[in-house]
């Protein structure tokens, strides 16, 4: 059932793209699996970029109930509280965010909303296996395929998430070997690469 | 004197690109000229993206002495203090940052370092005049021309900065009219669009 597009400004025929920001399981500098804490600006920056590029939902994934509560308080401030009343653009962006206990819940929600399971596409700053080039994924989205993009906080997604994904996007490389981008910067660039206008047209 | 490239991973022949993040003069939601406060994560995200994409210097511009002091304390923590000892990648990125009192100082430093005045290229989320398309600027950088990219905090650069610039980059558009990106996201995308690999090659 390709070609349904989405509600968030995506053109007809384009596949639906969702995004999940995982706080567990991710790795620390030593490569050990950990859970990371909420960063308020991650929520804002990812939601604003998602709204800009027509990403349908931003699933914020954490198993920690106190962290889920903190996210909900931040969201309430912007969705129904004084934040949103003061800044309608921010309310609009944060209305795309959903809090999930684990990746399964994010996948189930994405599947339920679009009536089919999206392809899971992970991101990693290191070479972590064969990749699906951006240009290829870009064409598949335009042809109607739907994706759930997975981003990890801390030092990135744990191996078990990378193994579960259907595909892996290439690391973002610039002028050399250094690619220690924040997840906020990396997610913005990935959304632009997959969903932004053709480079020669801008 | 084109074709000097830079020290930060840029290829030979490529023009030098610097970036300035202005905290004054910028505008508020009502379009009034204001000065904005330091955001710690701006510094980190812009420096990390700059290091990734071969931007030579990140000039953080604020006329407020207390804000300059705060920036210096943050930088010291990462350059000579415990932060940098713990995280060499972060130290490397933040070593590109220079604090300036005003745009003139940033331009003078960029000029002094490269022996010629860079072209000033401003960014704006709204249509603010005729633009230089990304593809055109990309080609000019590759041909050896040097640029200083200007980003505004708060609601963006004040008119007097836009008027002073040699050129203006197009607003970043995604799926529709919404383009309320954070300056962190916008700067990451602009660096990737101007300095990242060709889209068909990634």
- At A22-31, the pLDDT tens digits run 999 999 999 9
Q: What is the ipTM of this complex?
A: 0.93
Positive or negative, the CA dihedral A24, B184, B45, B28 is negative
Per-residue pLDDT reduced to its tens digit, A56-88: 999 999 999 999 999 999 999 999 999 988 899
Which of B155, B14, B137 is closest to A176 using CA atoms?
B14
pLDDT of residue A8: 62
Partner residue facing A185 (CB), from B8, B188, B202: B188
Spell out which residues of chain B touch residue A199, defining contact as CB-CB under 8 Å: 134-135, 138, 193, 198-199
Q: Hey, where are the domains in chain B?
A: 17-194
Q: Which residue of B192, B195, B197, B200 is the best one to mutate when testing the A interface, meaning the one whose CB has the most A CBs within 10 A?
A: B192
- Convert the pLDDT of each residue in A103-149 to its tens digit: 999 999 999 877 889 999 999 988 777 899 999 999 999 999 999 99
For chain B, the average pLDDT equals 91
Burial class (CB in 10 A: 0-12, 13-18, 19+), B158: buried
**pLDDT higher than 90, residue B135:** yes
Residue A158's pLDDT band (cuts 50, 70, 90): very high
- A156 neighbors A124 (Cβ within 8 angstroms): yes
Report the residue of chain A nearest B16, measured CA to CA.
A175
Q: What is the mean pLDDT of residues B131-147?
A: 95
> How large a percentage of chain B has pLDDT more than 90?
78
State which CATH number among 3.90.1150.10, 1.10.10.10, 2.130.10.10, 3.40.1280.10 fits the domain covering A17-196: 3.40.1280.10
- Amino acid A116: pLDDT: 86
Question: How confident is the model over B148-177, as pLDDT tens digits?
Answer: 999 999 999 999 999 999 999 999 988 788
The rounded distance, in Å, linking the Cα atoms of A121 and A134 is 11
Q: What gap in Å lies between CA A83 and CA A120, rounded to an integer? A: 33
Residues of A with CB below 8 A from B89's CB? 178, 180
pTM beyond 0.90, yes or no: yes
* Residue A156 · residue A122 · CB < 8 Å: no
Q: Are B103 and B148 in contact (CB under 8 A)?
A: no
Q: What is the pLDDT of residue A172?
A: 93
Q: Name the fold adopted by B17-194.
A: Alpha/beta knot (3.40.1280)
Indicate whether A43 pLDDT > 90.
yes
pLDDT of residue B1: 37
A7 pLDDT higher than 60: no
pLDDT digits over B177-193, tens only?
A: 898 999 999 999 999 99
């Amino acid at each position: 059932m390709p070609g349904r597009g989405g509600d968030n400004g995506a053109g007809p025929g384009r596949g639906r793209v969702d995004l999940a920001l995982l706080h567990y399981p991710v790795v620390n500098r030593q490569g050990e699996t950990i859970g990371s804490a909420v960063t308020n600006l991650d929520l804002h920056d990812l939601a604003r970029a998602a709204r800009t590029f027509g990403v349908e939902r931003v699933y914020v994934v954490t198993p920690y109930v106190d962290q889920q509560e903190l996210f909900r308080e931040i969201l309430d401030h912007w969705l129904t509280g004084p934040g949103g009343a003061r800044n309608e653009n921010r309310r609009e962006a944060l209305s795309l965010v959903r809090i999930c206990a684990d990746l399964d819940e994010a996948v189930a929600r994405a599947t339920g909303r679009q009536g089919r399971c999206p392809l899971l596409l992970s991101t990693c700053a290191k070479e972590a296996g064969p990749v699906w080039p951006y240009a290829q994924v870009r064409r598949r989205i335009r042809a109607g395929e739907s994706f759930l993009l997975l981003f990890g906080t801390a030092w990135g997604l744990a191996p078990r998430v990378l193994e579960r994904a259907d595909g892996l996007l290439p690391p973002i490389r610039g002028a050399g070997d250094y690619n220690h981008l924040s997840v906020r910067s990396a997610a913005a660039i990935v959304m632009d690469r997959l969903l932004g206008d053709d480079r020669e047209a801008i």
